[in-house]
Amino acid sequence: MEAAVEEYDRLGRDTFLERDGFRRAQRYLLAHGDRHYDSKAIVGAAHGFLPGERPLAARDFSGGAAHAVGLLKRLGSEIVDSAPATAPTADDLVARVTHLKVNRSSGRPALHQPIALLWAMGRAVRGEARLLPWAATGESLRPLLERHGMRGERPRPDYPVAALHRAGVWVLRDHGDPAPTAHGDAEVRRWFTANQPVGGLAEPLYDAFRHSAVTRLARARRPARRVLRGPRPVRAAGRRGPGRGGG
């Protein structure tokens, strides 16, 4: 198995898969070190390192991915199931938006996540495409973050998008390695540059804003109030404004 993993790393994912007719795994991934690998393709390549055997091509797997996953588990390998157990509803997603965790280290809420959300919601209202290539997303978000972000916030779209993806309200597709968390400056930037994912609002959330004007307004105001407002000022006890008569 180690030899197959080393070959995968040496050739790169796409070349490794194409050689024996495999497609990218949709669900089950082999966890090895700090990386994830297409389970069925790894098993096929590993077979070729056995004495007198050849690598197995995709067409040689009569049992599909389940057969490869079962074999890897019996060998003690860790398998990651990348498919969600249940699809969240629009209300579930709105609740996640309402309770977004934003950085408040400066004493005020960072605005990058709300700005990215409002931009995506606006696209839904106008009926524009839900999913966009990463280059187009970055090109659209960067000037908005520069214009409306708080002083000191860097206008980088990768950070808020990674955070929204982790919160479950933003989907990222057509990428190789698992998406990073919004931690680790160089790691997040490098991942988006290398993988160039297609992404946007989760479909139920997009549909809620696209098709219902009343729902759209009610749902947009609630999270915006909660996330965008800063701490309320505290009035000094006994302090009053001047009376009508002045003096």
Q: Tell me what pLDDT residue 72 has.
A: 85
Distance CA 58, CA 19 (A): 10
Whether 247 is covered by a domain: the verdict is: no
CA nearest 208: which of 136, 111, 121? 121
Tokens of 115: 């700005």
119 closest CA partner among 101, 146, 93: 146
User: What is the pLDDT confidence band of residue 140, given thresholds at 50, 70 and 90?
Assistant: very high
Q: Do 97 and 160 belong to one domain?
A: yes
Place 158 in a pLDDT band, splitting at 50, 70 and 90: very high
Domain assignment present for residue 64? The answer is: yes
Q: Same structural domain for residues 76 and 98?
A: no
How confident is residue 143, by pLDDT bands cut at 50, 70 and 90?
Answer: very high
pLDDT at 168 over 80: yes
Domain count along the chain: 2
For residues 165-187, give the mean pLDDT.
77
The two beta strands, 132-133 and 198-201, are: antiparallel
* Whether residues 62 and 108 fall in one domain: no
Residue 240 lies in a domain: no
Which residues in the chain belong to E strands, given as ranges? Answer: 28-32, 35-38, 78-81, 132-133, 170-173, 198-201
pLDDT confidence of 213, banded at 50, 70, 90?
low
Same domain, 59 and 97: no
Nearest to 175 by CA among 97, 88, 84, 82: 82
Domain with 76, as residue range(s), is 2-81
